[in-house]
Structure 1
Amino acid sequence: MTNPPLLGEFGRIARFFKPLAAGFAGARGLRDDAAVFAVPEGRELVVTTDATVAGVHFFPDDDPGDIAAKLLRTNLSDLAAMGAEPLAYTLVTALPRGVGEEWLAGFAAGLGADQARFGIGLAGGDSVSTGGPITLSVTAFGLVPAGQALPRWGGRVGDRLFVTGSIGDAALGLQVALGKLDIPDETTRAHLLRRLRRPDPRSGIGPRLIGVASGALDVSDGLVADLGHLCEESGCAAVIEAERVPLSEAARGAIDGDAARLALALTGGDDYELLFSAPETARAALADLARESGVPITEIGVLTEGPPGAVTVLDGQGVPLDLPRRGWDHF
């Protein structure tokens, strides 16, 4: 019995990626060198790119469906932070020759499931081989009303600070995956690992923050670090209260009063929640949005006068926490 012939580049595209492009007319069935699509009148195109590398952003033996989901969702989170609705994306895969069709099938299935969930389609891309680790990149396109994309630099002194969902699950989940954090309760472990591997981009909330939020971004490098970025661009400082930062039940159980684990939750990153500033008068509108969306929106602090980018985190007694770092830095 002989093994079936391996698919070449175009065979892989036809089997695994053409089906993902079928629902987006601008992809032209992946039969041309580029996609073609128009931007509706009164809208602007928002473009973002994120890459992910085995051994840096994910474990080489992670489930390919999880890898695909996180790759797409991190880009969707960037769109949400700008107030944009998902439209399409392109994909670049740089794969070692040993990556087989079973891996590709799982990866494509992960993309397909999330395309259906978030209403986005594949517009094209490229596929190459590499002698290095698996390297993947997505460029995502979204639509926003003209002139209304949410900026990082719109925060003003006195604006309140809000965050969606919960913070710290992914950072704690990474420690579980690395074997550095022992969590006996399987439900807690599963929740933390799921939030690491499949974050929840707030695609339904971002567009509804237009006209409400003054400045916004998503939490990828860590709550404190990303708040620092918003403050730098807005020319102000910030004070947040650690006890007001929303933690899931699983995260609270994992932290269990440990100061180092709390610091990790505040600075570890990979949350992909929305962090934004808004005037005090927006509280009622945000409470309505949280209720309608089913996603908590929590006030955690305020923008203040001070050195641009400075972030102070207070404990329950109003004493500043001495954090060992602000967040993730690739370099």
Structure 2
Amino acid sequence: MTNKITQLFNIQYPVIQGGMIWVSGWKLASAVSNAGGLGLIGAGSMYPDVLREHIQKCKKATDKPFGVNVPMLYPDIEQIMDIIVEEGVKIVFTSAGNPKTWTSFLKEKGITVVHVVSSVKFALKSEAAGVDAVVCEGFEAGGHNGREETTTFTLIPMVKEQVKIPVIAAGGIGSGRGMLAAMVLGADGVQIGSRFAATKESSAHDHFKDTIVNVKDGDTYLTLKELAPVRLVRNKFFNDVQELYQKGPSVEELKTLLGRARAKRGMFEGDLEEGELEIGQVAGLIHEIKPAKQVLDEIIAEYTQVKNNL
């Protein structure tokens, strides 16, 4: 397969693995890159020295392109960016912030930059900032996403109508059929998170992986919009949030309940009651934990078969 995305990243398939916190370490990123996609290391849950270690291990594990996803709200952002440059990373996905802040810095170092957006407005701002492509993420996606609550399949054609740079679809895509549907609507590639979270190479806790494969439709919810909208699996923590909402809480009360390290507690340490379990609606289509290469191979095979059948 050859298109704008495969050419931009020098990869075989226009499939990017989401750079998810507590899930996307060097093992997952290198496995996806070796299988022909673009693997991403999720820097959002890593201290600077830990990120450096993951980049170095990823370089040893694959000779294929890979990248780093950087939420720009990260407290050690300057140090993170310096490490990325020092380690020779060639692809950076930025999110949760203004694309103008770091795009020029990274581009001057010869790095390909992609920014994650949830609206046409921010897609246009990203293009104006000089990014090479945008990830357009609908609110079906797991974890933190846009306040607009625009679905992926309405967002993609609206963004495609307005921008000239390549568009990558994200949110609710976990199969070859989903990939084909996104491409038909104008996407040049897809970013897949939840499906790769439930792989053998994912650094998520086994308890969380088991939860993913047991999720049914309607089991995930968008909440905490006053802080930052996040899609979660219903558990004790989620129910505690809903009970607090019944009392008309202040932002500070919501922050107090959330506390610190909720996502680590749930996704990385496996606390299924008190932890934050971030996963997308597409988890209802995930029924088995498989190697990342098998997942990618099956997605491409289904994409090709369905496309040919049509």
Q: TM-score w.r.t. structure 2 length?
A: 0.26
Whichever of the two has the greater Rg, that structure is 1
Structure with greater strand share of residues: 1
Structure with greater helix share of residues: 2
